[in-house]
């Protein structure tokens, strides 16, 4: 157990350093280790797999590696949707965040219909959460509404 926690801590550090330095290799290394840990303890480590995939999607999108980013966002979304079925309060905001990222990627690729669908679903989630916690989610609502308004 202690060894697994130490590996998890090392992965979190690699993931954070990878994002801070825009270092693809560190983030990919973190993903590989999180996947291994998730095989043994999915409840603990599957959310970290999804977060790391989302981070890789951000890095790849920024490097115009569109297909890789799309694949990473879609896998992260699939994991977050599965997690949200069991714990919606904890994971639906992550579903919305990933939908937002996919929408941005699709908009940049002129896939307007897909982007609109992703933004609309993200907005629906954020609005539901903003009713209960406006301080935390109102900014998200406003951001996604603006993205929708800017679509052709």
Amino acid 23: pLDDT: 62
Instruction: Give the model confidence (pLDDT) of 4-37 as tens digits.
Output: 444 444 444 444 444 444 566 777 888 888 899 8
Alpha-carbon gap, residue 73 to 106, rounded angstroms: 11
- At CB < 8 A and 24+ separation, what contacts does 27-31 make? 27/52, 27/55, 27/56, 27/59, 28/56, 31/56
Amino acid 21: pLDDT: 47
Amino acid 32: pLDDT: 87
State whether residue 22 is helix, strand or coil. Answer: coil
Q: CB neighbours of 30 closer than 8 A, spacing ≥ 6? A: 11, 12, 14, 15, 18, 52
Judged on CB neighbours under 10 Å (0-12, 13-18, 19+), 21 is exposed
Domain with CATH 1.25.40 in the chain: 1-74
Instruction: Give the model confidence (pLDDT) of 53-112 as tens digits.
Output: 999 999 899 999 999 999 999 999 999 999 999 999 999 999 999 999 999 999 999 999
Q: Are 116 and 151 in contact (CB under 8 A)?
A: yes
For 1-74, give the CATH class: mainly alpha
Instruction: Give the model confidence (pLDDT) of 106-120 as tens digits.
Output: 999 999 999 999 999
Amino acid 31: pLDDT: 85
Instruction: Give the model confidence (pLDDT) of 122-142 as tens digits.
Output: 999 999 999 999 999 999 999
């Amino acid at each position: 157990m202690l060894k697994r926690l130490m590996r998890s801590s090392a992965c979190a550090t690699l993931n954070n350093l990878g994002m801070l330095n825009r270092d693809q290799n560190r983030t990919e290394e973190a993903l590989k280790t999180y996947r291994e840990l998730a095989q043994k303890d999915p409840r603990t480590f599957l959310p970290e797999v999804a977060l790391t995939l989302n981070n890789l999607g951000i890095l790849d999108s920024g490097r115009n590696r569109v297909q890789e980013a799309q694949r990473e966002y879609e896998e992260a979304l699939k994991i977050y949707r599965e997690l949200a079925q069991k714990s919606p309060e904890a994971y639906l905001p992550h579903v919305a965040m990933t939908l937002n990222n996919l929408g941005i990627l699709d908009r940049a690729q002129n896939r307007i219909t897909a982007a609109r669908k992703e933004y609309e679903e993200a907005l629906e989630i954020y609005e539901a959460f903003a009713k209960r916690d406006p301080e935390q989610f109102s900014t998200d609502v406003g951001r996604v509404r603006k993205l929708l308004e800017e679509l052709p």
